[in-house]
């Protein structure tokens, strides 16, 4: 019983640190681990027991994002129903991860060209996790609701960068979270050009 309680407490503390780190780093790139500890409401020594340095904390955030992607894609049930509706569910889930995607995609250590780096391994794992999304895009192209003249790779990149841009607008207070979700969905579904009236 005691081990279970301790394990649950450790899990909650770790979760609190990860959530705090995303909030703090997304707003202040040069924030210290002390800032993260303060946001998580734990002692700095406690944070260091979980994550000895910033690199280990960032790696844990990357691993946590992979698990979150897997959950969101599973919950979106990308193989069920019309492709358009499945894509809408998926984008809604992606936007839940907006702050975490925003942080990692703008994190300097995640722009390393080394193919043997942890970053490269992260993106290889992400490719595997996102295989159902690739299948959804192909299905959408077959159903005629996703443009056939765009590659699956391009659409995959565009979806994630649209989420990044949406959260960037939220961080800049240019859009609320609800406005960002609606704007991202509208941009993906109909672009930025107004429909032309038939002569």
| pLDDT tens, residue order, the chain (199 aa) | 444 444 778 889 999 999 999 999 888 888 999 999 999 999 999 999 999 999 899 999 999 999 999 999 999 999 999 999 999 999 989 988 988 888 888 888 777 667 777 788 888 899 999 999 999 999 999 999 999 999 999 999 999 999 989 988 988 899 998 898 889 988 988 888 876 665 5
Same domain, 38 and 77: no
3-state class of 77 per DSSP? coil
- The answer to whether position 152 is within a domain reads yes
What's the Cα-to-Cα distance from 44 to each of 51, 157, 195, rounded to whole Å?
10, 37, 55
Same domain, 143 and 105: yes
- The answer to whether position 195 is within a domain reads no
Give the closest residue to 158 by CA, choosing from 122, 189, 124, 195: 189
Task: Give 78: exposed, middle or buried? Use CB within 10 Å, 0-12, 13-18, 19+.
Answer: buried
Same domain, 132 and 165: yes
Alpha helices in 28-53 (DSSP H): 33-40, 44-50
Task: Supply the CATH number for residue 12's domain.
Answer: 1.10.10
What residue numbers bound the domain in which 139 lies? 59-190
- The answer to whether position 41 is within a domain reads yes
* ∠ CA 17-180-119, rounded to 5°: 45
Q: What's the domain count of the chain?
A: 2
Task: Give 180: exposed, middle or buried? Use CB within 10 Å, 0-12, 13-18, 19+.
Answer: buried
Same domain, 80 and 65: yes
- The answer to whether position 2 is within a domain reads yes
Task: Give 40: exposed, middle or buried? Use CB within 10 Å, 0-12, 13-18, 19+.
Answer: buried
Hey, which bits of 4-149 come out as E strands?
none
Same domain, 71 and 145: yes
Same domain, 69 and 41: no
Per-residue model confidence (pLDDT) at position 195? 67
- The answer to whether position 197 is within a domain reads no
Hey, which bits of 11-116 come out as E strands?
none
Same domain, 32 and 87: no
Per-residue model confidence (pLDDT) at position 103? 86
Q: Which single residue is written with the structure tokens 């946001």?
A: 39
Per-residue model confidence (pLDDT) at position 197? 60
- The answer to whether position 162 is within a domain reads yes
Taking the alpha carbons of 123, 81, 188, 65 in that order, is the dihedral positive or negative? negative
- The answer to whether position 120 is within a domain reads yes
Task: Give 190: exposed, middle or buried? Use CB within 10 Å, 0-12, 13-18, 19+.
Answer: exposed
- The answer to whether position 122 is within a domain reads yes
What are the two backbone dihedrals, phi and then psi, of residue 2, each rounded to the nearest 5 degrees? -60, -40
């Amino acid at each position: 019983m005691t081990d279970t309680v301790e394990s649950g407490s450790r899990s909650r503390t770790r979760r609190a640190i990860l959530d705090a780190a995303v909030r703090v780093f997304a707003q202040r790139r040069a924030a210290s681990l002390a800032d993260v500890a303060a946001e998580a409401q734990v002692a700095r020594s406690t944070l260091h027991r979980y994550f000895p340095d910033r690199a280990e904390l960032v790696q844990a955030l990357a691993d946590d994002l992979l698990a979150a992607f897997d959950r969101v894609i599973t919950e979106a049930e990308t193989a069920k129903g019309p492709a358009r509706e499945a894509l809408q569910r998926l984008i809604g889930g992606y936007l839940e991860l907006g702050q975490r995607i925003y942080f990692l995609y703008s994190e300097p250590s995640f722009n390393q060209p080394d193919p043997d780096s942890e970053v490269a391994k992260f993106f290889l794992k992400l490719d595997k996790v996102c295989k159902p999304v690739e299948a959804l895009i192909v299905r959408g192209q077959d159903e005629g609701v996703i443009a056939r003249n765009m590659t699956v790779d391009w659409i995959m990149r565009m979806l994630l960068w649209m989420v990044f841009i949406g959260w960037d607008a939220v961080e800049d207070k240019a859009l609320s979270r609800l406005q960002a979700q609606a704007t991202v969905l509208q941009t993906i579904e109909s672009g930025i050009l107004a429909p032309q009236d038939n002569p």
